[in-house]
Chain A
Amino acid sequence: EADIYQTPRYLVIGTGKKITLECSQTMGHDKMYWYQQDPGMELHLIHYSYGVNSTEKGDLSSESTVSRIRTEHFPLTLESARPSHTSQYLCASSDDREGQPQHFGDGTRLSIL
């Protein structure tokens, strides 16, 4: 079982609040990812990181930001939440070897009122 953890699992919060979704992994993986997933739809990559101090935007435009100060930690922040940010956010990590799977956390289900 993969050791990647996301908190909180569920969050219901009002519009305009600042939100940070936490993601930590204990596998020493350099690569980490954030995906957004809506019901019945495919996962969309919103951010990724090759390692410490590396962050890149993914395919899906997102108003969120990320940071990678430590290998094991890859938090995602929304400065001012809006109802359009309501979704499930999945964090994943993988090592550098070709063909290795991404290990996913259980996600944060975010609802903005």
Chain B
Amino acid sequence: KNQVEQSPQSLIILEGKNCTLQCNYTVSPFSNLRWYKQDTGRGPVSLTIMTFSENTKSNGRYTATLDADTKQSSLHITASQLSDSASYICVVIDRGSTLGRLYFGRGTQLTVWP
């Protein structure tokens, strides 16, 4: 069973609009949570990394939130651009192993229309 669930599975918005992507996880013990952007045909690129003690972190037009108590995270995209069209993947890392095991969500496929 996947321990990281993302919603929605896909999303279409108009250029300039805002959107919020959700990530719920059951991974424990928790180390940190990451959001990656994966363009079609490319590898994932890290957007944000959040530790247990961080509630909000921004990277330009991307703002991630984390509620470690409810095990939920969100990624908010402001003033969307056509180049934001991509898959956004939530990754949760546990601290119960030396490798720092990564649990991947299936991603939210975002399409921005002009």
Q: Which residues of A contact B (CB under 8 A)?
A: 2, 4, 6, 40-45, 48, 90, 92, 98-99, 101-107, 109
Contact = CB atoms under 8 A, between A and B. Distances in A.
A104 B46 CA distance: 9
Contacts of A103: 46
Nearest to B100: A98
Nearest to B43: A104
B106 interface: yes
Contacts of A99: 31-32, 49, 51
Interface of B: 2, 4, 9, 31-32, 34, 41-46, 49, 51, 89, 99-100, 102, 104-107, 109
Contacts, number: 47
Nearest to B32: A99
A107 B41 CA distance: 8
Given A43-B104, A98-B100, A104-B45, 6 more contacts: A42-B105, A43-B44, A43-B89, A99-B51, A102-B102, A107-B41
A109 B105 CA distance: 20
